[in-house]
Structures are given as C-alpha cells and as structure tokens.
Structure 1
Amino acid sequence: MANWSDPRPTAAPFGTTRARAGDAAHDAGLRSYMLSVYNYMASAVLLTGIVALMFAAGGADSPAAQVFTQGGILKYVIMFSPLAIVFAMSFGQARMSTATMQMLFWGFAVLMGLSMSTIFLVYSGTSIAQAFFATAAGFAALSLYGYTTKKDLSAFGTFLIIGVVGLLVASVINMFVQSGPMGLVISAVGVLLFAGLTAYDTQRTKNLYYQVAGTDMQGKVVIMSALSLYLDFINMFMFILRLFGSSRD
C-alpha cells in the first residue's frame, strides 16, 4: 500500500517533516550534552591551572616548595587524594547524587592543582605555556576526530588501557632506576597513548548520549565523561612537558 503523501509534487512524504524535526531535536540534544562535557572539562583544567599557579607563587618560598620539599603527611595527602576521588566517583556513581558528583569533581580539580604546582618550581614559564598550547591544539584535533569519525574506536580501548597500565609499571620501575633514556621513552609512549585515549573517550562520550539521553543518569555521565577527557588532557600535557620542557634558570 502506497504511503500517504502531500498532494503538492515537491512536498516530502507524510511524516518526514516530523522525523526531521525529531532528528533536529536529537542533534540539538547531543550538541548540548557534548558542550556540557567540554565546559566541565575546560573549567576544571582552568581551575587546576589557577590553583597550581597560586600555590607555587613565590618560588622557593611558596607553599608548594615548603610542602613538597619538607615532606610530611600533607605531601602524600595531596598526591594521593585525587586518585582516591577518582576511585570513589568511578565505583560509587550509582549511589551518589549529581550534586555530590559535581562537588567531588571540583574538589578533584583543586587537589590536582595543588599536586601539579611543582611544575612551576621545576620548569620555565615558557616551557609550560608551550606545552599547554601544544596539548590544547592536539587535544582539539583528536577530540574532533573522535567525534566525527565513522570508524568504531572501541576495539582500541582495551589496547590503550593495557598500554596505560604498562606505562604506570614502567614509570614506577624508573623511579628506582632513574634512567634518563627510559624516561624519554615513557614520555613519548605516554603522549601517544593519551592521544589515542582522547579520540576514544570522545567517541565513547558521544555514544553514551544515546543510552542516557533524558534519563536521571545523564548529569552523572556528563561529569564522568568530563573527568575522562580532563585526565587525557592533563596526562598528555605532563608527558609533553617532560619531553620538551626546559628547567628554570
């Protein structure tokens, strides 16, 4: 049986306009969702940078220098608290409210700023700026690729995560070996791994929208996706800085 159609010769079949309106609304929802993710992620990076800069203000006399050179329990609290928050958010998100997730997310960004403040004591301001802008450009290109590509990147996810685990093991070993060449290799591999994870996490974030759109989980997924992209950005930045950064005079 033929479809009902508008009598005008150039009109679309009945129902097509409604379908297109639905598609437009869906696309608008996806854009709003992705924009929320990027706003969270970019705001967290900015907050981390401001906190790190303020905590390291004063150089050798800064709070950062005092905390990380004198040792003590506060040093380890700052270093390991962000990891504890990531685990809490990852495994407790089903039981947490969106407001609690937001609070933990911003707390994580602040603690990361305290932890990363030492880069202002070790590297020159020019090196930090160059590494940041190189990371921002690379992140933008890779995230755009992950968002627009039709290729399924999920097959690379397991490989990349295994690579990160191997990278962590190698980094721990190098803490004791103190090998310069090994450190360079670790940094180069780290840049490549987190570059891949940027594209993968972007596509995964986009795909998650189709599962959580309009549900109570959407707000939580936005925050967790922003956290994943934040970690990709920060790790890629740190490895680029270790590769090409110059020490302070």
Structure 2
Amino acid sequence: MLNNSYERNPDRYGSYAATSPQISFLNQVYGWMCLGLLLTAGISGWMAATPGLVEKLMMQRGLFWGLLIGELLLVIWLSAGIGRMSSTTATVAFLGYAALNGVVLSGIFLVYTQASLFSTFLATAATFGGMSFYGYTTKRDLSSIGSLCIMALWGVIIGSIINLFWANNMLYWLVTYLGIAVFVGLTAYDTQKIRELAMNISDSDSSLVRKLAILGALRLYLDFINLFLLLLRIFGNRR
C-alpha cells in the first residue's frame, strides 16, 4: 500500500547513505517538481503576453472559480487515487494540474511587476531549498512539526475563506504570516517523509516508483507554489 511508505520508523533518523535506486528516486521527485514549476511558469508567462486573454479570464468569475475548484478536485483525486491509477495517468494528471495552475496564476503578471516576481521567486527558492535541505539532513523526527503545520493549515484555509467576505486587513496579514510558517514547516516535513520513502525504494517496480515520485513531487510543488504566493503578498510590488 502506498500510505504505508510514510509510516514512521525510529531507525530512519540516524545516518543515511543513499543507494543508487534511492538517488534515482529522489532525482525523479525533484525533477518532476521542477518540470511542474517550469510548466506553470511557462503557461502563466505565455498567457500574460496576451493581457486581454488574462483580463477576460479574470472578469468571468464563474469560469475562474470553476478552474480553482477543478484544481482542488484534481489534487484530491491524484493524491487519494494514485495507488489505483497507472503511472502514465498519474504523470498526465500531475502535469495537467501544473498547466491548469499556470492558467489560474497568469493574473499575477498583470498585478505585480516582473522585477518583484523574479525577486520573490529567488526568495522562495532560497527558503524552500534551505528547508528542504534541513528536512533531508536532520536527525530530528519532524512528525510533530508536520502534524502541527497540517492543523495550522486548516486555520489558514478557514481564515482565507472568511476573509473573502469580511475583507479584514489584520486577518489578511495574520493568515499570510501564519501561512508562510506553515509551508516552511511542511517543506522540511515533506522532504523528510520523501527521504524516508526513498530508503524503502527498489528499482524492481518502475511503475510504482514513478507514481511515488509523482506523489512526492506534487507535495513539494504545492509547498513551493503556496510559499511563493504568500511571500509575494509581502515582497510583491504592484503595477
């Protein structure tokens, strides 16, 4: 079962020497994550090159919210059903989500300056890279931090929904800073779980390895994208 690969083993937090299958698995995880980010950025940039197209999308609120709901359902379907789908289906679903996210996020190119988008991306990459490195190398069990971050994430989601109707400035910034802390913590936690998973990987079932790599890439992709959007609220300069 896929979920069993994420169970905690106290012996996994000591010294760690990756074998060839494990290195290959980790390369797949980060490779798919980076490909997803590139696809999202490429589609967002392509749409932003036609401002009228983006403005039309933003004005059609029903379509825009439909895309957001579609994204959510696609993530839930991929995360919950990856064990039952083929590796090809999992790959297409992940890349489809990244592409769809590029469409949804295209509006930020019209709201923020390119310089602030680039500087925020660099800040996100540095933060993500540092926390991912920490999660990979630390001997500390981050399960308690991960559980706390997941609970706090629900607070961020609920707070964000409430503020859609209330539009309170204090709540906006509270959700922003709490969200940054949550995704910083989740980056380290998810990386440790992926490292943990890699220790049980063998190259005997390439289809299963591909699906697990896609699942790991999705988690890290979501951590990166959400951290970027929250940091953009702070460092982004509006046009």
TM-score of the pair, normalised by structure 1: 0.85
- Unaligned regions of 5+ residues in structure 2, if any? 1-15
Residue 191 of structure 1, aligned match among 180, 200, 207: 180
Deviation at 1:199, TM superposition (A): 0.5
- More displaced 10-residue stretch of structure 1: 111-120 or 176-185: 176-185
Alpha-carbon distance between aligned partners in 1 of 2:176 and 2:19, rounded to the nearest angstrom:
38
Residue 178 of structure 1, aligned match among 159, 167, 171: 167
Structure 2 residue identity aligned to 1:146:
G
Q: Deviations over 1:161-203 (max 9, x none)?
A: 1110111000111111111222112111111110110000000
Residue equivalent to 2:6: none
Q: How many residues align?
A: 222
Deviation at 1:29, TM superposition (A): 2.1
Residue equivalent to 2:211: 220
Residue equivalent to 1:56: 48
CA contact (8 A) 1:209 1:218 kept: no
CA contact (8 A) 2:25 2:201 kept: no
Residue equivalent to 1:27: 19
Structure 1 residue identity aligned to 2:122:
F
Give yes or no for the alignment of 1:70 onto 2:60: yes
Aligned-partner SS, 1:65 = helix
Q: How does 1:233-248 map to 2 (within 5 A)?
A: 233-248=224-239
Deviation at 1:215, TM superposition (A): 4.9
Give yes or no for the alignment of 1:98 onto 2:90: no
CA contact (8 A) 1:174 1:182 kept: yes
CA contact (8 A) 1:146 1:198 kept: yes
Residue 197 of structure 2, aligned match among 208, 212, 228: 208
Structure 2 residue identity aligned to 1:149:
T
Alpha-carbon distance between aligned partners in 2 of 1:204 and 1:71, rounded to the nearest angstrom:
38
Structure 2 residue identity aligned to 1:55:
M
Aligned-partner SS, 1:151 = coil
Moved over 3 A (4+): none
- Matched residues, percent identical? 38
- Unaligned regions of 5+ residues in structure 1, if any? 1-22
- More displaced 10-residue stretch of structure 1: 109-118 or 150-159: 150-159
CA contact (8 A) 1:101 1:220 kept: yes
Deviation at 1:54, TM superposition (A): 1.1
Alpha-carbon distance between aligned partners in 2 of 1:58 and 1:125, rounded to the nearest angstrom:
15
TM-score of the pair, normalised by structure 2: 0.88
CA contact (8 A) 2:22 2:201 kept: no
Alpha-carbon distance between aligned partners in 1 of 2:158 and 2:169, rounded to the nearest angstrom:
16
Deviation at 1:212, TM superposition (A): 3.8
CA contact (8 A) 2:136 2:195 kept: yes
Alpha-carbon distance between aligned partners in 2 of 1:201 and 1:213, rounded to the nearest angstrom:
20
Alpha-carbon distance between aligned partners in 2 of 1:57 and 1:177, rounded to the nearest angstrom:
33
The alignment's C-alpha RMSD in Å is 1.5
Residue equivalent to 2:140: 151
